Amino acid sequence: MSELKYSVELSAFWPPADRCVPGGYRKPMEIEQMLDALAGIDGLDGTEIYWPGDFDDPVAMKSMLDERGLGVASVGVDIFADAQWQKGALTSADTALRGEAIQRHKDAMDAAVVLGVDTLTMWPGQDGFDYPFQSDYRALWQRLTDGVREVGEHNPNIRVAVEYKVKEPRSHLLVSNVGKALTLVHDVGLANVGVCLDVGHALIAFENPGESMALLDAYDRLFHVHMNDNYREWDYDMLPGSVHLWETLEAFYWMDRLGYEGWINFDICPFREDPVRASQETISMARQLMRAARELDHDRLETLQKTGDSVAICTLLRESVLKG
């Protein structure tokens, strides 16, 4: 049985904004308040923090986390929130801007070492395009693979988990889905460069998240997992299982079956919800679904999967998961 740890990322507690409400949907909290709130969530093991938005002093951050018994799922690297990278960071045609984006990853890796964290999450969110004809795709891809390789080579002991997403904030991102991520990772060719599967991003790429986990695992590249839910056409970062109950359960089932060891980070974005209560419900649902996934009759399920007997599988799921 795989050993899983659960985190809610710190940014779930920052006041969210969007283009309609640029001033933010709620009042900001102090960092210590946010960490206290996290520490109070039943069943939570830690958090995920962004460099340098959430912290720029790893020693101080480590001490604040240790005091509260909070682990760190992964260090995320912010190369998307600064307007200077609005047309690309790792793929920028501007050598200085691109170098700065790469350097930020190296600094974050160094910070991760101080924190005692072995996983970096890289999300090239501004590396993409918006309009037809806008980009020289060959040049972008070349800069991307070179950039990721340079990051990976900085410290082979830190695993770099590249997070794919099909859109937002650009209408098209380069590392859009599990297949593009694997193509990138294969080109990079380093043992410490793999993939962060975000269940919500898999859904908006019309993937079955469990399938994508199995595919990444087949190439030993399932490095990290994010989880949340949405309506498949946009990344609403809703509470996990609140829309796609079955596919979320199936993701837990596959993490278990594949022997995934590590963290699930919940990167929910509670625009109109209290982040503390949203985090608690997220963890409660996750733990309940993991139990349900383990209690499914795996032998029978695997037998039914051999012939793809979807009706019998629906019956099994209904009887196993739903009350009365």
- 121, 177, 228, 265: residue in contact with its own copies (rule CB under 8 A): 177
Beta-ladder partners of 61:
none
C-alpha span between 18 and 174 (Å, rounded):
23
Residue of the chain from 2, 40, 56, 81 that contacts its own copies (CB under 8 A): 81
Task: Give how many residues touch its own copies by CB under 8 A.
Answer: 112
Interaction residues for its own copies, span 8-27 (CB under 8 A): 16-26
Report whether 237 contacts 196 (CB < 8 A). Answer: no
Closest separation in Å from C-beta 107 to its own copies: 20
Residues of this chain, 214-233, that bind its own copies according to CB under 8 A: 214-215, 217-219, 230-233
Q: Is 195 helix (H, G, I), strand (E, B) or coil?
A: strand
Which of 99, 291, 297, 298: binder of its own copies (CB under 8 A)? 291
**Helical axes 58-68 vs 31-39, angle rounded to 10°:** 30
Q: Which of 29, 52, 183, 256 binds its own copies (CB under 8 A)?
A: 183
With binding defined as CB under 8 A, does residue 242 bind its own copies? yes
Query: Considering only 33-41, 65-73, 97-105, 247-255, which stretch makes contact with its own copies by CB under 8 A?
Result: 247-255
- Spatial contact of 261 and 1, defined as CB atoms under 8 Å apart: no
Q: How far apart are CA 45 and CA 59, in angstroms?
A: 20
Establish if 196 lies at the interface with its own copies (CB under 8 A): no
Residue 43 in the binding site for its own copies (CB under 8 A)? no
Give, as ranges, the residues between 83 and 142 that touch its own copies (CB under 8 A). 83, 86-88, 93, 125-126, 129-138, 141-142
| E-assigned strand segments in 82-184 | 119-122, 128-129, 159-163, 172-173
Which of 31, 80, 153, 190 contacts its own copies by CB under 8 A?
A: 80
Among 210, 225, 227, 252, binds its own copies (CB under 8 A): 210
Q: How far is the CB of 66 from its own copies (least distance, A)?
A: 29
Of residues 74 and 280, the one with the C-beta less far from its own copies: 280
SS3 call for 259: coil
Burial label for 271, CB within 10 Å (0-12, 13-18, 19+), is middle
299 binds its own copies, rule: CB under 8 A = no
**Two structure tokens written together for 249:** 């359960």
Q: Is 244 exposed, middle or buried (0-12, 13-18, 19+ CB in 10 A)?
A: buried
